[in-house]
């Protein structure tokens, strides 16, 4: 019986916690709205930066491939008209 009395006595205190939590949630609504706005912009910029980085790496790989092919052609003695074997040999 005594335990039941303690539980019933504690119920109003627990109800106050939910009221306080609701008040905090309402007070934080503007912060959550502002954060959502920032997060909507930042990931798009991050994705654009990552895409540009991938494009730059791909271009670097292609340039490296062209240089290696020119070096190989010059080494074998079959350069193209556009190959500058003197510059390629210095690398």
Q: What pTM value is reported for the model?
A: 0.47
* DSSP codes, the chain: -HHHHHHHHHHHHHHHHHHHHHHHHHHTHHHHHHHHHHHHHHHHHHHHHHHHHHHHHHHHHHHHHHHHHHHHHHHHT---TT--HHHHHH-
The answer to whether the beta carbons of residues 73 and 82 sit under 8 Å apart is: no
The gap from C-alpha 8 to its chain's centroid, in whole angstroms, comes to: 51
Chain segment 17-38, per-residue pLDDT in tens: 566 677 667 777 787 888 777 7
Q: Which pLDDT band, with edges at 50, 70 and 90, does 11 fall under? A: low
Report the percent of the chain where pLDDT is more than 70.
70
CA distance 23 to 50: 41
């Amino acid at each position: 019986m005594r335990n039941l009395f303690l539980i019933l006595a504690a119920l109003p205190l627990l109800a106050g916690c939910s009221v306080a939590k609701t008040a905090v949630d309402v007070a934080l609504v503007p912060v959550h709205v502002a954060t959502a706005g920032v997060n909507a912009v930042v990931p798009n910029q991050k994705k654009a930066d990552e895409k540009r980085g991938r494009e730059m790496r791909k271009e670097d790989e292609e340039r490296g491939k062209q240089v290696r092919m020119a070096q190989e052609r010059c080494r074998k003695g079959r350069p193209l008209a556009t190959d500058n074997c003197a510059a390629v040999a210095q690398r």
